Amino acid sequence: MRVLLVNPPSLRLAGFQVPYFPIGLGYIAAMLVKEGHTVEIYNTDIDTVQSARHSQHSTLDKANTMYNKYSAALQNPAHEVWGEVEKVIRERNPEVVGITCKVFDMASALVVARIAKSVNKEIVVVLGGPAATTCTDMVLEDQNVDCVVRGEGEITMVELLKALQSSKLNLHSIDGLSFKESGDIVHNKRRALIENISSLPYPARDLLLYADKLPKWMFESIMGGIITSRGCPYACTFCANRTVWGSRKVRMRTAQDVVEEILYLRDTYGVRRFIFWDDHFATSRQRAVKICNLLLEKRADVHWLCLVRADTIDEQLLELMKKAGCYEVQMGVESGSDRILKKVKKGVTVEQIRKTADIIRKSGLRWHAFLLVGIPGETREEMDATMRLITELKPDRVQLSVFTPYPGTPLYQELEERGLLNDQKWLSADVLNVDYSYVGTIPHEEFRKLALQYLKECDEYNEMNAQTSCYAYYLRHPTLSAKKLIKMITKKFYALWGD
């Protein structure tokens, strides 16, 4: 069958350009190709016309403008992105359109579904991804959606396409599938998790539409995303991971498999910089050590960053990671209040975070801190403590998020039971929206001003650090012309920081 897998537009509709490869669709595409299907991946968030430049926007810019632009685009059928989506679907003429969606881009995914049906009502529209798993009934209520794949999608999609090709269509036997039948919504039983994820083929990056229109450096950058494990053993109450996967079990690829993919991407696409998108790279210290040792043994000569926790790394591991090419670690600090850390079940204390930040700085690795404000019940004093922690921890970059009640999380359930969720929760569900607050300890308008102030402080902190780093870079390259230096620094810092 002809299949078009679509990543719906969200950031692009809001005026931002952050190209990336939708790795989940890449895995599904690879499985479908093995079964003989014709598959293409269409990331609508990549603007190939404007791809030569990366949008530079502060988080404050995004908080002030992102949601108005996004909402307006959703209501505007004449928006150029929707015209592009329709054109691509007509040209590719798929029999099946599979759309992945997060909560924030769920409304956008439904617009894509509507466009697909307007092009050809016979197209089978399938939705998957985190939002399709946590908001299945709501998604299936849309008349343009035929099926929903819940949880892990590779095997479910393979079985769905076999059923669609069969003369005797039977959807009831497909685990992990939800669909409509005679006006009712049917939920088949949950699919068992894939135990050996090393058995999966590498994501089919070669099937990305219009990749040839991207500048070489950007193409190499977006091809460097890797997932080495699935799942998270922790229980943070603001995270829907457990609901999406249906378990807190972590399944890990072997170190050999991970390194082989890195070498394949290096040799095939020229990728030298990688991002490990795992929830926590060092959940298994032993496996992390094996990956690092293999990278050194194979003389991979690559650079990479990963996410870590304050309680899973130590000086020896960081030293080995650095030798193996790691240049940055990213860590969820979340709060400067032990009470809030306990409330969200983070599993670490502020003192642990302080000690870990110290050993990261001493290792010479750059580090990126994630902070969160607006947790229900959080006080002004606790939010201020989180902001004060920045200057104490001294991360190279800080990213502040505003609490969002994602469906499938314990905090969402708590707010829903208390009747505190607003009618537009689906459009507001992202980490920089200050138009809604659930903190409950101060009036909304006060929280909004406070959150914008915090975002501005983080932007200023990051800008100051970037200027300091640029000056240090200039001192190491005093003979470069100003024009060439600016070009090199711009490229260097895009690669390091992203948007």
Separation CA 82–CA 72 (nearest Å): 13
CATH 3.80.30.20 describes domain 224-497: yes
Q: Nearest 10 degrees: CA dihedral of 334, 337, 339, 345?
A: 20
For residue 261, the number of C-alpha atoms closer than 13 Å in the C-beta half-sphere is 23
Render 242-290 in DSSP notation, one character per residue.
Answer: HHHHTS---EE--HHHHHHHHHHHHHHH---EEEE--S-TTSSHHHHHH
Neighbour tally for 138: CB within 10 Å: 16
Closest CA to 396 of 275, 496, 274: 496
Laid out side by side, the sheet with 397-402 consists of 225-226, 273-276, 303-308, 326-334, 366-373, 397-402
Domain spans of the chain, in order of start: 2-187, 224-497
Closest CA to 206 of 121, 151, 255, 269: 269
Alpha helices in 75-174 (DSSP H): 80-92, 106-119, 130-134, 136-140, 154-165
Separation CA 159–CA 152 (nearest Å): 13
Closest CA to 113 of 143, 87, 133: 143
3-state secondary structure of 306: strand
**Whether pTM exceeds 0.85:** yes
Separation CA 373–CA 239 (nearest Å): 14
Question: Rounded to the nearest 5°, which phi and psi values hold at 274?
Answer: -125, 155
Q: Which amino acid is at 404?
A: T
Separation CA 125–CA 65 (nearest Å): 31
Superfamily of the domain at 2-187 = Response regulator (3.40.50.2300)
Q: What is the pLDDT along the chain (499 residues), one digit of tens a residue?
A: 999 999 999 989 988 877 889 999 999 999 999 999 999 999 999 887 665 444 555 677 777 778 888 889 999 999 999 999 999 999 999 999 999 999 989 999 999 999 999 999 999 999 999 999 999 999 999 999 999 999 999 999 999 999 999 988 899 999 999 999 988 999 999 999 999 999 999 999 999 999 988 888 888 888 999 999 999 999 999 999 989 998 899 999 999 999 999 999 999 999 999 999 999 999 999 999 999 999 999 999 999 999 999 999 999 999 999 999 999 999 999 999 999 999 999 999 999 999 999 999 999 999 999 999 999 999 999 999 999 999 999 999 999 999 999 999 999 999 999 998 876 666 666 778 888 889 999 999 999 999 999 999 999 999 988 876 554 544 455 555 555 555 555 554 444 444 4
Is residue 451 a contact partner of residue 373, using CB atoms and an 8 Å limit?
yes
